Structure 1
Amino acid sequence: MGETHTSGHTPALPPARDLAGAWLLMAVLAAFAWALTVAQARDTGVAPGTMGMAVPPFLALWLVMMIAMMVPSVAPVALTWARGITRPSTGLARTARTTAFVGGYLVVWTAFGLVAYGLLALTGDLVADHPGAGRWIGAAAFALAGLQQLGPLKNVCLRHCRSPMSQPLTHAGHRPRAHDLRAGAHHGMYCLGCCWGLMILLVPLGVMNTAAMAAVAALIFLEKLWRHGPALSRAAGIAFLVLAVLCVTGPPQVQDWLLPGLTAPAAPMAPMGMTGAP
């Protein structure tokens, strides 16, 4: 049975060439996912609800979005994981085990897509029946995100995400593939606890709003990897609470800017699939 992150002595770190495949995997995944997301967003636009999608195509789209948004911030963790693998030691094996780690991580975020789908379906129906409810839904989403940013769960999960290898032996009793999958899912749960409030913002901002997605992805990346990340997290929480107030009290131009995902389109949208064809 292969071992990872063994104790007793510090193993020699792999040469950079053995990590080249893992680096390439992360870069290709993120670039391809962003290309697909931008193409889909160009076809669908920003609108309330699930854009007419059933659960399976929505989850496929959500998975692509999570790869685009989250892989840049999880890549250093996955590569640190691969760097600590002592057996097997080939570059191909490290790439395969990194893939398993990232796969476990994405399983958690794909499961959260079911929650996102339910929220989008509910808010889409509410806005369709009561257009004025959009500003209150938006205010609730921004307030929830702000409170989550400032709450104790955020601090606990952000500390783990900033130093994820402090618990590397949690799954050491499992075979390598299960070890990597479980370790990725374990990290994914902490990441979900850290970032779920930010994902809720896609309800008012629009699930296919690529500018909002890029801003959220950048905030997640900086929170986890920048030395001032915790302070940035708290500042963002305060800003979200201010925006929650503006959703209700701000002028129409501000509300339109904050709530594109809760504004009913002038004409009904045709159901969209992953191909983007109407």
Structure 2
Amino acid sequence: MRTNETAGLFQPLDFERSLDDYDIHWITHGSVVPPVALSICYVIMIVVGPKMMENRKGYNLRGFMTLWSLGLAVYSIMGSYRMLEAALYTTLDSGIRGVVCTGVVLDKFPVRFWTITFLLSKFLEYGDTALIILRKQKLIFLHWYHHLTVALFVWYSAHNNYGGSNLFITVNLTVHAFMYSYYTIKAAGYRLPRFVNIFITTLQITQMVIGCSTIGYLMYSGPKEDCKTSIAHVASGGLMYATYLYLFAQFFYKTYFAKRPQNSQ
């Protein structure tokens, strides 16, 4: 496969050229076993982890959490910039349909690098849940359900090169650039104004609206040569994003607007 560079203000850096055709083979032709096995281990951790920590004191992982979140923040900021730049050129060249219908881009630098590392990062982010368990924090359904399903769905979409994959990656990286920056500041012990929390959750809800809209467009357009999809793809993606939207909206309302019962004297 001959690779081309994506036009832009900045040409690919050396590390963005580091992946060759062999490195991407696992995405297009790889086995389903590794992602499924990792996800099964993740579910086992969710079930067994809290029980193992029941009689233990939660670990103080502030320093590690700060570095962990900082690493993911820097990665997401760099990745979102590159993907947004590519999306801009796609829009100018092919319009909105081109952005919505593009699958995974593996024939152009630097998008190829950020696409592949993004897919890997979704499984790395299972570590977020491990940190919650080790610190004996409350593990809510929204957290682990989101981590589990998004990792499997983006791999499934990329593996089949379904339309919307590139847009899903771009939006997710952009939201995570803000989200992990927030987590970094919070882990470092700084308190942020309430509106920052509201802003982050609003971004997450916006991501789900974009996801639902993209799936709706793919379903409406039907499987075409320039907009590849399938019934299983739109069904699983539609269900996933619809539940995300509901759960994040519910979290938003309960956290920021619902009146909490007053303690009786």
Please say whether Structure 1 and Structure 2 have the same fold, judged by a TM-score greater than 0.5.
no
* TM-score, normalisation: structure 2: 0.31
* TM-score, normalisation: structure 1: 0.30
Query: Which gives a bigger RCO, structure 1 or 2 (Cα 8 Å, sep 6+)?
Result: 1
